[in-house]
Each structure stands twice: as structure tokens, then as C-alpha cells.
């Protein structure tokens, strides 16, 4: 019997990796923060040093140990930024929503371990290696007034 060698593309490899990460977050970038669902991840609202009244932070930890912080506009209630760090990638399709496909398609612009999507409406940067992943996604036009992306980490 002959076996064919299968080499998945970068996009399909990323999709397969994300499919194994399990549920992570409770909201999608650009959408209102939703209530936690049973069995998804532990979540709590946290006040962070330097946080302004313009936004709040919803922090959750996946079952795999990755911390996800969602920054929520105090006026609109929508998630304007997401930051993650941990041993496994979170479910980026869930976190990025409509921005996931452009990220996967254009993200190969750097490398397998360092992906970047920079457009006028969204910036996504994900990097890492085995058991050490981090990233940030935000909507430049939806940052609350007086909030700098540099203060979100």
C-alpha cells in the first residue's frame, strides 16, 4: 500500500490548531460582551492598574491556562481590544469573529510563529512558540477617547 505525504497549508494548519484549543472567550472583537457560558472558561471582571472609566476589562482563563483579556468600551459595551498570553492559542476564530479570515489569509505575511494583520479597521498581532503564545487585536477606530493601545496588555 502506498501512502501520500500530506503537507497542510499554513491556513489549514492554523485552523486545525485552533480547532483543538476549545472554547475560550465570551465575546467577539467589535461585539457586545456576552455572559459566560457553562464550561467555557473561568471569567471575572477585573479592575486593572491604570484602567480608565472609559473601559473595563473582562479577564478569563481557558481550561488550558491561557489568559484572555477583553477590553470593553464603557459607553457602547462593545469589545474594542483583546489580549492573550499563555501556553496555547485561544480560539482566535471566536475572539476575532469577522476579522479571523482576513487574519488567516494575510497573517502569513510574517511567519508561522509571528502573524500580523494591519488594516485601517483592525490590527491583529499573534506570536509565540510551543507553550508560549501571546497576541493582541484591536479596532483603532473604536478605541475610547483618551485611551492608548500601549496601556492595554
- Split the chain (153 residues) into runs of 10 and give each run's mean pLDDT: 43 40 62 62 48 84 93 94 95 94 75 84 92 95 92 86
Q: Contact 125/115 with Cβ under 8 angstroms?
A: yes
Contacts with 4 (C-beta within 8 Å, 6 or more apart), sequence order: none
pLDDT value, residue 105: 85
Q: pTM to 2 decimals?
A: 0.73
Could you tell me how far CA 104 lies from the centroid of its own chain?
Answer: 13
Kindly write down the DSSP assignment for every residue of 137-152, as one continuous string. EE-GGGSPTT--GGG-
pLDDT value, residue 104: 87
Could you tell me how far CA 91 lies from the centroid of its own chain?
Answer: 7
Amino acid at each position: 500500500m502506498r501512502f501520500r505525504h500530506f503537507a497542510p497549508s499554513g491556513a489549514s494548519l492554523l485552523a486545525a490548531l485552533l480547532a483543538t484549543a476549545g472554547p475560550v472567550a465570551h465575546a467577539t472583537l467589535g461585539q457586545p460582551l456576552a455572559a459566560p457560558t457553562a464550561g467555557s472558561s473561568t471569567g471575572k471582571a477585573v479592575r486593572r492598574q491604570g484602567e480608565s472609566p472609559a473601559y473595563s476589562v473582562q479577564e478569563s482563563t481557558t481550561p488550558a491556562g491561557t489568559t484572555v483579556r477583553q477590553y470593553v468600551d464603557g459607553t457602547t459595551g462593545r469589545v474594542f481590544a483583546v489580549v492573550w498570553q499563555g501556553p496555547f492559542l485561544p480560539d482566535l476564530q471566536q475572539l476575532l469573529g469577522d476579522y479571523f479570515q482576513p487574519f488567516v489569509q494575510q497573517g502569513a505575511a510574517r511567519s508561522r510563529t509571528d502573524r500580523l494583520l494591519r488594516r485601517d479597521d483592525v490590527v491583529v498581532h499573534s506570536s509565540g512558540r510551543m507553550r508560549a503564545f501571546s497576541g493582541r487585536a484591536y479596532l483603532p477606530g473604536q478605541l475610547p477617547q483618551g485611551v492608548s493601545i500601549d496601556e492595554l496588555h
